[in-house]
Structure 1
Amino acid sequence: MTDSHGIVVGYDGSDFSMQALEWAMDEAELRKLPLTVTHAWRWPYGEADEEARGHLRKAAEHVLYHGGDCARSCSTITDVAVDLYEGAAAERLVELSARAELVVVGSRGMGALARTVVGSVAGYVAAHARCPVIVVRGPGPIPVPRHRGAVVVGMTGHTPDAAIEFAFAEADIRRLPLVAVHAGHLQPMAWSAPMPLVPDTRAVTEAAEDDMLERLQPWQADHPTVSVRTYFVAASPKDALSDLSKEAALMVVGGARGHGRLGSVTASILQHAFCAVAVVPVLKENPPQAKAPLSASHASEG
């Protein structure tokens, strides 16, 4: 095993973690990186003798080794490691993220239960990880759905370069189109003093899409085979991105701006998206450069 954990995936034997494992295997194969399958366990009943704890540990080992065996037998990955940890799963995934290229975790789909699970594990990892995190969401065969949707990146004037770079890389290795979307409220324009403020919808839309194309140009040059579409929608970012996620393969958003604090749009997408969500962190030692605000609209944080 190399010094890097490569792709790290949390695995607990559930259908949801199996979906995450499938996605992680895809990433490891496409990126030609090692795969680390991790499983956390802990005794939940207070004091116990070593024999009782040993039985629980054996059960945890069985779950973990099953995940590792699945990765070895169902993929071409040559470097698969297993990691058994006694403690909180979220904390272990964050710890491993410091030496990983990507962390993949599962989610229990949509609905009220998903909000609880996202908040307790995936949400914590997304907010604290030192590398990008993909939260695999939604029902059905993942990561190969019936339709090959686009990679969608939500953009504002402050979207970190790392999120754009990650979105282009994913679109490139998966041979998918990239859709960059900016959502917000139209800025009204006054044509003359007596007239009411009326937004010039076409001008605003074109200005926003031109701004996005200009911002994306360096990465488009690095990934010339990726088909790129820019899209402005006059709606709340939360609603627009959630709606686009119904047809997307992957939604890419910026991560925590402060330690453990996700933006309201990112937190909402983690809870409500219909596709997998990639959260790309903004690391303190490499903060994003200040970007000029997109000229089209007032947008919420991402």
Structure 2
Amino acid sequence: MVIGYDGSDHSMQALDWAMDEAEFRRLPLTICHAWQWPYRDGDQAARDSLHRAAEHVLWHGTDCARASSGRLDVRPDLYEGSAPERLEELSAAAELLVVGSRGLGTVARAITGSVASHTVTHARCPVIVVRGRGPLPRRPDPGPIVAGLADDDKADVVLGFAWGEAAMRGLPLLVVHAWHQPPVAWGGMTFPALDPLAVQKAAENWLAQALMPWREKAPKVTIEARIPQSRAGEALAAVTDATLVVVGSSRGRFGSVTAALLRHAPCPVAIVR
């Protein structure tokens, strides 16, 4: 397990989530903090001061993790260089990478920070981007784990990750397969490209087939299917009580559904590939 940590409020939320994930999975937790000297040249004393500040930030994160759970094997990782590149490097041997949706500095004004954006597109393991309101993840009334499925070859991978989260946390699994009927233009007017009822029926049949082995394999997890007529990002963000939303993505791509969720989801978002 790897967590990207910079001392910001968002990274503290991410640390809370990462500690839970590490405990559930019984894995060591690597807390990574990267720092860079922003100038070509400079006073060595000033550089040493920045280095010590980075050590303090990392010490604070590791101390919080160790104080919160004596069972965790916490491993600090202080790196001089690019945070996105270091997290991508660590992701090659990690089971899961956790980051906050925004960090410190000028990128905090963006909806999604540069570190989160880079890790979502380049990490070699699943990534959870922690966003949402208030302390995470210990809510008094946790909602379901939500899996967003498209009818492609990533569906089973998404279901596997989402089912694992639901089983670990003792929560129901809500599987959403949104369908959208794009219109076609002809003679200055727009019409549905296909019969909407036929499209809906095909979506229902596909989802039933996709869920069948999971219902048989995992009866202890309650699975609910939902097939809304809307765009996928809107349908997933509309589940306001979700504990975690899980979607699939190809490495090197930042799809429209992922982008919409990282802007509007009321909870952490997992991107698996």
- The residue aligned with 1:292 is none
- Residue 277 (str. 1) matches residue 269 (str. 2): yes
Mapped to 1, the partners of 2:259 and 2:109 lie a distance apart of: 10
What amino acid is aligned across from residue 134 of structure 1 in structure 2? I
- The residue aligned with 1:179 is 174
**The residue matched to 1:233 in structure 2 has which SS?**
coil
Displacement, 1:207? 4.6
**The residue matched to 1:39 in structure 2 has which SS?**
strand
Structure 2 counterpart of 1:237, from 218, 232, 239: 232
What is the RMSD computed on CA atoms of the aligned residues? 2.3
Pairs aligned (count): 261
Displacement, 1:264? 1.6
Displacement, 1:223? 2.5
Structure 2 counterpart of 1:139, from 112, 126, 133: 133
What amino acid is aligned across from residue 275 of structure 1 in structure 2? C
- The residue aligned with 2:142 is 148
Displacement, 1:73? 1.1
Greater shift, 260-269 or 51-60, is seen at 260-269
1:56-205 equivalent positions in 2, closer than 5 A:
56-108=50-102, 116=110, 118-160=112-154, 161-186=156-181, 199=195, 201=197, 205=200
Mapped to 1, the partners of 2:126 and 2:109 lie a distance apart of: 20
- The residue aligned with 1:265 is 257
Mapped to 2, the partners of 1:167 and 1:184 lie a distance apart of: 20
**The residue matched to 2:125 in structure 1 has which SS?**
coil
Mapped to 2, the partners of 1:17 and 1:107 lie a distance apart of: 8
Mapped to 1, the partners of 2:36 and 2:111 lie a distance apart of: 18
Displacement, 1:147? 2.7
Mapped to 1, the partners of 2:54 and 2:39 lie a distance apart of: 16
Greater shift, 76-85 or 62-71, is seen at 76-85
- The residue aligned with 2:186 is none
**The residue matched to 2:95 in structure 1 has which SS?**
strand
Whether contact under 8 Å (1:187, 1:204) holds in the other structure is no
1:101-138 deviations in whole A, cap 9, x for unaligned? 000001249xxx77825251111101100100000001
1:217-228 equivalent positions in 2, closer than 5 A:
217-228=212-223
What amino acid is aligned across from residue 274 of structure 1 in structure 2? P
Displacement, 1:53? 0.9
In structure 1, runs of 5+ residues without a counterpart are: 1-6, 189-195, 282-302
Change (3 A) 1:86 1:117: farther
Change (3 A) 1:211 1:141: same
Mapped to 1, the partners of 2:27 and 2:217 lie a distance apart of: 21
Displacement, 1:146? 4.1
What amino acid is aligned across from residue 147 of structure 2 in structure 1? V
What amino acid is aligned across from residue 255 of structure 2 in structure 1? G
Structure 2 counterpart of 1:21, from 3, 7, 15: 15
Q: TM-score, normalised by structure 2?
A: 0.88
- The residue aligned with 1:43 is 37
Whether contact under 8 Å (1:29, 1:76) holds in the other structure is no
- The residue aligned with 2:248 is 254
1:197-229 deviations in whole A, cap 9, x for unaligned? 79464x754553342132122233333211001
Q: TM-score, normalised by structure 1?
A: 0.80
**The residue matched to 1:104 in structure 2 has which SS?**
strand
Whether contact under 8 Å (1:71, 1:77) holds in the other structure is no
Whether contact under 8 Å (2:98, 2:127) holds in the other structure is yes
Mapped to 2, the partners of 1:76 and 1:205 lie a distance apart of: 51
Mapped to 1, the partners of 2:71 and 2:57 lie a distance apart of: 20
In structure 2, runs of 5+ residues without a counterpart are: 184-190
**The residue matched to 1:124 in structure 2 has which SS?**
helix
**The residue matched to 1:224 in structure 2 has which SS?**
coil
What amino acid is aligned across from residue 261 of structure 1 in structure 2? R
Whether contact under 8 Å (2:147, 2:176) holds in the other structure is yes
Displacement, 1:31? 0.7
Whether contact under 8 Å (1:126, 1:133) holds in the other structure is yes
